[in-house]
């Protein structure tokens, strides 16, 4: 029994901790973007063709859709017994066969999964400009955190995203006989970075690239749009070129102060608590290298909630075991017998960790709740047996007294 308890304890300490067991919800969402389109147009030209195409998938129990400005979502519900991997593959093939407008994006098949939510959200605070802070988060923090074991991606949100803005003057273009397409085509042709083939020399193969990207604003301004004889029309003649920022669609704040946020997502097979602890260790090293006017704080951490929930389940199980031990002692009135029962059931629960580890089960509120329920049932049976034994022991002296 001692050997079983030791191996069970070692196994239980190594079991991964999660809030809920690994669930695969039988729903798929076919999401298609149709920029600058009204909900009516999205429903007519995108949603209905996709519904007609994916509605023939075997096993679809229910289908409903949502059409809003610039976006179409078709939700498919399956039975719990269906294979969602095969259903997702078939839905992706069927959605690709739908006849959609050229302006519509390629349909994406998404699966609802609670693990897709970020496990840790961070905030980068400082007195620097928001565009500079976003560049620090994008170019330095993001690669550092994505290299942490268990982290799949780090998404940067908030701040200002810089861009080069070319604002055309339509009157100047019209006076020179040019259009916006001429201006856009000139910029695309001069800003290129594409493969240019290979060159073989004495057994060696060299890769050739056509590299001609803009390095500064002056190169953009001096780009030639049209050249006729001695007359050269450049971008600066028909447009204003300046540094700006993309249109903001979201603002992140912490304690009223605007900040840059990093959302960290875990890998599919990674454990939330283990990955969060690795992130905290990496953050300690990052803070040592961070400038004095910058700071990183943790906004949310799923592992803390999970640890708190699992801790409450453990405390409830221990409190229930203590109360059950007192009840057993009240009926048995024998400390040695109570100690035997009190030790036997926890050992059997600890031994259960061995098959749990072989079955790939995590320590979550469902598995621990099942162990706690089994623990209470076992103690309840012993409690009823103890009460039965106690009643029999009282019947003997009473009967003897009556006979006397």
Please indicate, yes or no, whether residues 142 and 272 belong to a single structural domain of this protein. Answer: yes
In a domain, 96, yes or no: yes
Is it the case that residue 401 has pLDDT exceeding 70? no
CA dist., res. 76 & res. 69, Å (int):
21
In a domain, 200, yes or no: yes
CA dist., res. 25 & res. 78, Å (int):
9
Please indicate, yes or no, whether residues 44 and 62 belong to a single structural domain of this protein. Answer: yes
Position 112 scores a pLDDT of 65
In tens, the pLDDT along 277-319 reads: 999 999 999 999 888 889 999 998 888 888 887 777 778 778 8
The tokens for 263 are 């959302």
Tell me the CATH number at 259. Answer: 3.30.70.1320
Give the domain range for residue 348. Answer: 305-393
- Tell me the whole-structure pTM to 2 decimals: 0.65
Please indicate, yes or no, whether residues 387 and 310 belong to a single structural domain of this protein. Answer: yes
Q: What is the mean pLDDT of residues 199-222?
A: 84
Position 377 scores a pLDDT of 56
Please indicate, yes or no, whether residues 55 and 156 belong to a single structural domain of this protein. Answer: no
Please indicate, yes or no, whether residues 221 and 265 belong to a single structural domain of this protein. Answer: no
More confident of the two residues 12 and 233:
233
Q: What is the mean pLDDT of residues 269-283?
A: 86
CA dist., res. 329 & res. 255, Å (int):
55
More confident of the two residues 324 and 78:
78
Whether residue 258 contacts residue 128, with contact meaning beta carbons closer than 8 Å, is answered with no
What percent of the chain stands above pLDDT 90? 17
Write down the mean pLDDT value for the chain.
Answer: 82
pLDDT-derived band at 373, boundaries 50, 70, 90:
low
Please indicate, yes or no, whether residues 360 and 236 belong to a single structural domain of this protein. Answer: no
Is it the case that residue 107 has pLDDT exceeding 50? yes
Window from 77-91, 109-123, 206-220 with minimum mean pLDDT: 109-123
In a domain, 226, yes or no: yes
- The total domain count for the chain is 4
Position 400 scores a pLDDT of 37
CA dist., res. 82 & res. 64, Å (int):
19
pLDDT-derived band at 394, boundaries 50, 70, 90:
very low
Choose one of 205, 222, 241: the last residue of a domain: 241
Please indicate, yes or no, whether residues 255 and 278 belong to a single structural domain of this protein. Answer: yes
More confident of the two residues 12 and 404:
12
In a domain, 2, yes or no: no
Is residue 176 packed enough to be buried (19+ CB in 10 Å), middle (13-18) or exposed (0-12)? middle
In tens, the pLDDT along 227-246 reads: 877 788 888 888 999 888 88
More confident of the two residues 294 and 332:
294
Is it the case that residue 397 has pLDDT exceeding 50? no
Please indicate, yes or no, whether residues 157 and 252 belong to a single structural domain of this protein. Answer: yes
The C-alpha angle with vertex 347 and arms to 341 and 353, in degrees rounded to 5, equals 150
Choose one of 112, 138, 169: the last residue of a domain: 112
In a domain, 4, yes or no: no
Window from 148-152, 230-234, 286-290, 374-378 with minimum mean pLDDT: 374-378
Position 74 scores a pLDDT of 92
Please indicate, yes or no, whether residues 145 and 284 belong to a single structural domain of this protein. Answer: yes
Q: What is the mean pLDDT of residues 157-169?
A: 87
CA dist., res. 336 & res. 345, Å (int):
15
Choose one of 217, 241, 265: the last residue of a domain: 241
CA dist., res. 254 & res. 257, Å (int):
5
Is residue 30 packed enough to be buried (19+ CB in 10 Å), middle (13-18) or exposed (0-12)? buried
Position 392 scores a pLDDT of 38
232: phi then psi, degrees, rounded to nearest 5: -120, 125
- Map residue 228 onto helix, strand or coil: strand
More confident of the two residues 383 and 320:
320
Please indicate, yes or no, whether residues 310 and 378 belong to a single structural domain of this protein. Answer: yes
Q: What is the mean pLDDT of residues 103-119?
A: 80
Q: What is the mean pLDDT of residues 178-193?
A: 86
Position 374 scores a pLDDT of 57
Whether residue 298 contacts residue 304, with contact meaning beta carbons closer than 8 Å, is answered with no
Position 268 scores a pLDDT of 67
Please indicate, yes or no, whether residues 275 and 384 belong to a single structural domain of this protein. Answer: no
The tokens for 271 are 């454990």
Q: What is the mean pLDDT of residues 364-371?
A: 72
In tens, the pLDDT along 242-266 reads: 888 888 878 888 888 889 999 998 8
In a domain, 400, yes or no: no
Considering only CA atoms, which of 261, 262, 269, 263 is closest in space to residue 150? Answer: 269
Position 22 scores a pLDDT of 67
Is residue 167 packed enough to be buried (19+ CB in 10 Å), middle (13-18) or exposed (0-12)? exposed
Please indicate, yes or no, whether residues 288 and 147 belong to a single structural domain of this protein. Answer: yes
In tens, the pLDDT along 13-61 reads: 777 777 777 666 788 889 999 988 899 999 999 999 999 999 888 888 8
């Amino acid at each position: 029994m001692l050997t079983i308890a030791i191996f069970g304890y070692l196994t239980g300490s190594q079991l991964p901790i999660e809030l809920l067991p690994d669930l695969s919800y039988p729903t798929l969402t076919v999401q298609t973007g149709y920029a600058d389109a009204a909900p009516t147009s999205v429903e007519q030209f995108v949603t209905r063709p996709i519904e007609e195409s994916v509605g023939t998938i075997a096993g679809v129990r229910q289908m409903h859709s949502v059409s809003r400005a610039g976006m179409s979502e078709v939700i498919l519900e399956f039975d719990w017994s269906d294979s969602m991997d095969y259903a997702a593959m078939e839905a992706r093939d069927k959605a690709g066969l739908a006849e959609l407008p050229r302006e519509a994006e390629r349909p994406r098949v998404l699966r609802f999964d609670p693990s897709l939510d970020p496990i840790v959200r961070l905030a980068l605070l400082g007195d620097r400009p928001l565009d500079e802070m976003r560049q620090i988060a994008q170019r330095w923090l993001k690669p550092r955190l994505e290299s942490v074991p268990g982290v799949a991606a780090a998404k940067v949100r908030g701040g200002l995203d810089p861009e080069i803005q070319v604002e055309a003057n339509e009157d100047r273009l019209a006076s020179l006989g040019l259009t916006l397409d001429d201006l856009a085509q000139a910029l695309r042709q001069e800003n290129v970075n594409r493969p240019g083939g290979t060159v073989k020399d004495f057994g060696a193969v060299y890769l050739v690239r056509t590299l001609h990207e803009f390095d500064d604003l002056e190169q953009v301004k001096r780009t030639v749009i049209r050249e006729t004889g001695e007359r050269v029309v450049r971008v600066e003649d028909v447009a204003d070129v300046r540094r700006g920022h993309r249109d903001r669609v979201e603002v992140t704040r912490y304690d009223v102060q605007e900040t840059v946020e990093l959302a960290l997502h875990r890998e599919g097979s990674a454990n939330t608590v283990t990955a969060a602890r690795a992130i905290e260790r990496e953050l300690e090293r990052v803070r040592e290298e961070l400038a004095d006017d910058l700071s990183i704080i943790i906004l949310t951490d799923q592992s803390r909630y999970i640890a708190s929930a699992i801790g409450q389940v453990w405390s409830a199980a221990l409190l229930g075991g203590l109360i059950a031990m007192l009840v057993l002692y009240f009926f048995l009135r024998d400390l040695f017998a109570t100690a035997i029962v009190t030790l036997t059931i926890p050992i059997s629960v600890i031994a259960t960790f061995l098959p749990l580890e072989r079955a790939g089960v995590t320590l979550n509120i469902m598995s621990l709740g099942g162990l706690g329920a089994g623990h209470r049932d076992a103690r309840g049976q012993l409690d009823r047996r103890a009460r039965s034994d106690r009643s029999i022991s009282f019947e003997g002296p009473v009967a003897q007294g009556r006979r006397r």
